Chains A and B, each alone.
Chain A
Amino acid sequence: MSNGRAFATNSSRKERIKEWVARPGGSGIIVGISMFAIITIMGIFHPLLSKYGADEFVGDSLLPPSFAHPMGLDQLGRDVMTRVFAAVPSDLGIAFLGVSIPLITGTVIGIMLGIAQNKYFVTLVSSLIDGINAFPLLIVAIAMVAFLGPGLINVVIILSLMSWARYARIARTRAVVVLQQNYIEAAKLMGYSKKRIVIRHVAPNVSSETLAYALSDFILVIIIVSGLSFLGFAARPPAAEWGAMIADGRTFLGQAWWLTIFPGLAICWSAISLSFIVEGLSRRDRGN
């Protein structure tokens, strides 16, 4: 590998970090991680940093941005900046759940399919996976909200029921490939138990693939969560949530642009930060 450490050196930790950043995609990864860290930290610590509560009426309605309120006030006189950061747990947090649950279940099911010997089991589950994947996610999600009722937790349930199939398909394909690799054969010849081989040798090689997919899926899920909220299917006003805030401010778009722009920018910021990480990692993988 040309971009790998050509020869390991006994350099200090600081130099090693420098070296790591200098390799392809390093700066993109750093920028992406910092952007994502900023919004996450602000989201977690906003009650300490902000003078106002998310649902507190602090002044005249539709007050434009000023020093006291950098993102202005909304139609009910709530501080928009506080609300944008207060929305982080419901947007990024829910998106995180909506990615990690299907990631884990999908990977486990995919590996099981990869090692399964029972033809009927494999065919049955594979058809189920193909069936689920055939439906467009957003449309089914809207249809399922009709049954489950609106709410963020329901969005997580819907994503968990739907997304695992994509992860399972990736994991299965990968598991079949990994199982034929020489290192798996070598592990078998070393006399390791089957359980050990699956957990220690197959799973890490499969999950590297599904994890990579999860990172790009994260962007999509953020947009799905806020999109559903915008339509009123997930978080609903007065909850602080970017999609819901945009939907709320839409009626005042002519008089108060700050109600929609700032939550929109927050969605962009998180999506772009993740794109930076994804792009940086794939550049590192390609080595340019």
Chain B
Amino acid sequence: MTQPLVVIDHLKIDVRVTKARRLAIVDSATFNIERGQFIGLIGESGSGKTMLCRSLVGTLERRGAYISGGTLNFDGIDLVAASQKDWRGIRGKRIGYVPQSALAGPNPVMTIGAQLSEAIRQGEKMDSKQVHNRAIELLNIVKIHRPELVIRQYPYELSGGMRQRVMIACAIAQEPQLIVADEPTTGLDVTVQAEIMDLLQEIRKDLNTAIILVSHDLLLINEICDDIVVMHAGVTVEKLRSSQIKDTRHPYTQALYNSRIDIVEPRGKLVTIKGQPPTVGAWPSGCRFAGRCDFVKDSCSVEKEIPLITVGDNHGTACLQYSEIWK
């Protein structure tokens, strides 16, 4: 078995609040990303999804956060100990990033061509003709019509969906091994969202890139990803194949799945998850979902940390009661 592309093991990310006070944002993230795998990361707001993504591109520092423990390994490189110089060779070249807000993603005073060529020139030296051809090629990959015209246009002349395509084109310019897509369809309508997702899948297939997709939308992730990682209050609570979603072994995942909005088969009243996720910094010991869980038992809060229990092929859950709940 080959080594996974990214190994994340008990990763802990802290934020500096004051000189002495630290706040854990991500407490124990554990999952691997295989080469060419399409992985979906899901969780409520504040569960540490975005911070996890930032740690993969090494831009935690400017938000006052840092990795305080655990392992983060990319293709054999220890990213926890990586220097700025190491990062320069990785960020944008081997790990691409598709940012959250497509509408404000491209620089308003630069033409699309200028931004693309900037991304292209990060790598090997090329003359301007080659750069131009590569830019056209990239725009074709992301399915932008009439690339010869778009390359001369400014971002304000493009629609939101086209801007996000341009951002994806920039991200894949160096043919990275991993693309981090942090909620890439925020602010785009559903049809465009579907197109962007199709595009990501195609890129994955054609370039054999691993993609980590962050979203709130379990149905979306379930539909297009191979694997799902569920985060809750800074902890990985379950990882499973998307085909196994109905055989979840964690009450939180189940609750998320039950709270979906099914347009095709409306089920009457919307189901919600009761309560709020625990506040950052005030996490209870033991299972952090215990306060909201219908199946909670006293033993849930005994152990300080609940490890991922393997329950099947590529399936792990951090629920102590899973064998009781799913008999």
Contacts and interface: CB of A to CB of B under 8 A. Distances in A.
Interface of A: 1, 4-5, 8, 10, 181-193, 196, 200-201, 204-205, 208
A8 B97 contact: no
Interface in B91-144: 91-93, 97, 99-101, 104-110, 118-119, 122
22 contacts: A4-B156, A8-B149, A8-B153, A8-B157, A182-B101, A182-B104, A183-B105, A183-B106, A184-B107, A186-B106, A187-B107, A189-B92, A190-B91, A190-B122, A190-B171, A191-B91, A191-B92, A191-B122, A192-B92, A192-B122, A200-B118, A208-B109
Contact of A204 (B109, B118, B156): B109
B88 A193 contact: yes
Given A8-B149, A8-B157, A191-B122, 4 more contacts: A183-B108, A186-B105, A189-B59, A204-B110
B105 A189 contact: no
A196 B97 CA distance: 18
A148 to B, nearest CB: 38
Given A183-B105, A185-B99, A191 B157 contact: no
A286 B88 CA distance: 41
Contacts of B91: 189-191
A182 B59 CA distance: 14
Interface of B: 57, 59, 62, 87-88, 90-93, 97, 99-101, 104-110, 118-119, 122, 149, 153, 156-157, 167, 170-171
B113 to A, nearest CB: 13
B109 A5 contact: no
- 9 nearest CB pairs, A to B: A191-B92, A191-B91, A182-B104, A189-B97, A190-B92, A183-B107, A204-B109, A186-B99, A182-B101
A279 B149 CA distance: 31
Contacts of A185: 59, 99
A10 B157 CA distance: 15
Contacts of B171: 190
Contacts of B170: 186, 190
B62 to A, nearest CB: 8
A61 to B, nearest CB: 56
A36 B122 CA distance: 43
B104 A181 contact: yes
B122 A205 contact: no
Contacts of B57: 189
Contacts of B87: 191
Contacts of B100: 182
Nearest to B104: A182
A222 B11 CA distance: 63
Q: Of A1, A183, A192, which is in contact with the most chain B CB atoms at under 10 Å from its CB?
A: A183
Nearest to A190: B92
A181 B105 CA distance: 8
A256 to B, nearest CB: 52
A187 B170 CA distance: 10
Given A192-B92, A208-B109, A186 B167 contact: yes
